[in-house]
Amino acid sequence: MGEFAFYHWGCLSDNQETIVHGAVAMELYALAADIFDDIEDQDNNELPWRTIPAAQAINTANLILFLSFEALAAINDQARYRQANEIFQTMGITACHGQNQEFLYEEQEAITLAQYFDTVRKKSGALTAGACKLAAVLAGCDAGLIPDLEKFGQSLGVISQVKNDLRDLLRVEDKSDVRLGKKTLPLVYLGNILKQNKAKTEELHQLCSPARRKGAEFGPAETDRLRRFVIQEGAAHYCSVICACFKQEAVEILDAMNIAEEQKRKLIALVENQT
């Protein structure tokens, strides 16, 4: 995420000094968020923070989170620091709100697509939007550009989350999304599109239920059956279409922005790299 902010800043300014502290802060914040997320999701077991007791990992994540604010406080320009700090705090509060919504939805049988996208815009979109806004403030951009850059960052965050949702659903034996009842986009889509088809709904339930039973084995054969169902019922294609739509939305935001064509070109390349 720090690299993302640094690249984004490089598209908007030639002054490297002010962005370094912001990029370091963003990278530390994203690392802390990843640690918390992996502990909550109980997966990515090969990563260092999953090989130590959870209490130690949480304490480490808290330390990294405080270090991110310390890195931000190293910004010398006090006016920009205040703006950056406000962006940072808003980003964190919004992301936590989205995460809490995700927890609440795990207890529900189904949610709507509107609920899914609202949550993703807060949880994942807040981080990329925060990185874009932070880069813009530290690059000294016109304040009028910041709302558009926020929407641009949100679009990139949604793309990233949708891609993760589909990839993780097809790795059920390694990932915890199905076991924890997470409302990822492929399952939300299938739940909505198949709700009038009792036979298909029951088939989806049977495919997912072994992974939800604690201790139940969910191996390659079960994963393959679920993968084929997701593809045959159009969920994988739907995710691809959604990514394309948000990609187009991001490009349209850039096209309407009053920035140099070279800057637009670089930011459009960033969109292409995300998809």
Amino acid in position 18? T
Report pLDDT for 226.
86
CATH number at residue 83: 1.10.600.10
- Averaged pLDDT score across all residues of the chain: 86
**How many domains does the chain fold into?**
1
Orientation of helix 185-193 relative to helix 235-256, angle to 10°: 120
pTM score: 0.86
pLDDT, tens digit (0-9, with 9 covering 90-100), for 41-90: 877 778 899 899 999 999 999 999 999 999 999 998 899 999 999 999 99
Confidence tier at 2 by pLDDT (50, 70, 90): very low
State which residues form the domain around 36. Answer: 2-274
Distance of CA 163 to the CA centre of its chain: 9
Query: Measured between alpha carbons, how far is 156 from 148 in angstroms, rounded to an integer?
Result: 13
**Residue 111 in tokens:** 């949610």
Query: Measured between alpha carbons, how far is 113 from 93 in angstroms, rounded to an integer?
Result: 23
Query: Measured between alpha carbons, how far is 121 from 127 in angstroms, rounded to an integer?
Result: 9
Q: With pLDDT > 90 as the criterion, what percentage of the chain qualifies?
A: 52
Query: Measured between alpha carbons, how far is 49 from 36 in angstroms, rounded to an integer?
Result: 10
pLDDT, tens digit (0-9, with 9 covering 90-100), for 17-43: 677 888 899 999 999 999 999 898 877
Cβ contacts of residue 151 below 8 Å, gap of 6+? 129, 249, 253
Amino acid in position 113? L
Render 45-59 in DSSP notation, one character per residue.
Answer: TTSGGGSS-HHHHHH
Cα–Cα nearest to 182, from 101, 109, 106? 106
- Judge whether residue 91 has pLDDT over 90: yes
Please report, for residues 40, 185, 211, the alpha-carbon distance to residue 177 in angstroms, rounded to integers and kept in the order given. Answer: 11, 11, 9
Query: What SS3 state is found at 158?
Result: helix
Amino acid in position 73? A
Query: Measured between alpha carbons, how far is 177 from 165 in angstroms, rounded to an integer?
Result: 8
Confidence tier at 172 by pLDDT (50, 70, 90): confident
